[in-house]
Amino acid sequence: MSDPVRLARRVIELTQCSRTDAEQYIKGGWVSVDGQVVEDPAHKVGTETVVVDPAARLTVAEPATILLHKPAGHDTISGPNPAAALVQSDSRWSEDASGVRLLQRHFHRLTPLMPLDAEASGLMVLTQDGRVWRRLSEDRDDIEQEFIVEVDGDIAPYGLQRLSHGLGYSGRPLPPCKVSWQNEIRLRFAIKGVQGGQLRDMCAQVGLEVVAIRRIRIGKVPLAKMPVGAWRYLPVGERF
């Protein structure tokens, strides 16, 4: 029996392609070993059956950006119950229309961005893409976020106007934002530079107790109808 060889070498033997192309086929998720996709060109194979997908294309596997509908009770940036752990191959939204092929490499080194309170739910961003990281880190305070806030209690006189402009948080006056009633118990906030705990504090200042918070948009990217706990890819061309 021959000694095991690198998967890339076996692909070269099967396709007569170059080493660079073989590694790209493997990293792109086009090669299976005994029926299981393997994305590591250095993976050792012996007598296993190696198959290169007939539809294989020499396309570079781009870094992924993932949009998650975070459930309440999970931590975004840090904490004992990280929402990032929910991003698994079987929790991808069945209606994801991004066209991005699912690769195991997409689940490695995902950086969570745009903080969201642990008790809140809604749109969360995790990325491997340095361009997205820079956009959502360096320009975070300039990107409008939209929240639905369920409240209880009776709002103080002129409370809606005060929520829009006139309140402070952490000893500083808050810039204007857009606030409106979605229905009798839910407020819609369109706001920039929101800080942890800020929405809850703003509501308390006008006599309202927050029951639930859900982020439904970051910049131009909506949560849409994605179920709680599901995720989708951010496709090429969709920008925050």
CA distance 30 to 57: 8
Give SS3 for 206: coil
What does the DSSP 8-state code read for residue 106? G
Structural domain including 128 reads 65-140+221-233
Residue 192 is assigned to a structural domain of this protein: yes
**E strand or H helix that includes residue 231:** strand 231-233
Number of domains in the chain: 3
Would you state the pLDDT for residue 193? 95
Count of other CB atoms within 10 angstroms of residue 177? 19
CATH of the domain at 79: 3.30.70.580
Q: Which residues contact 36 (CB under 8 A, 6 or more apart)?
A: none
Residue 214 and residue 225 in one domain: no
Averages of pLDDT over each 10 residues, the chain, 240 residues: 84 90 85 87 90 86 93 94 95 95 92 96 97 95 97 96 96 96 97 96 98 98 97 93
Would you state the pLDDT for residue 229? 98
Residue 81 is assigned to a structural domain of this protein: yes
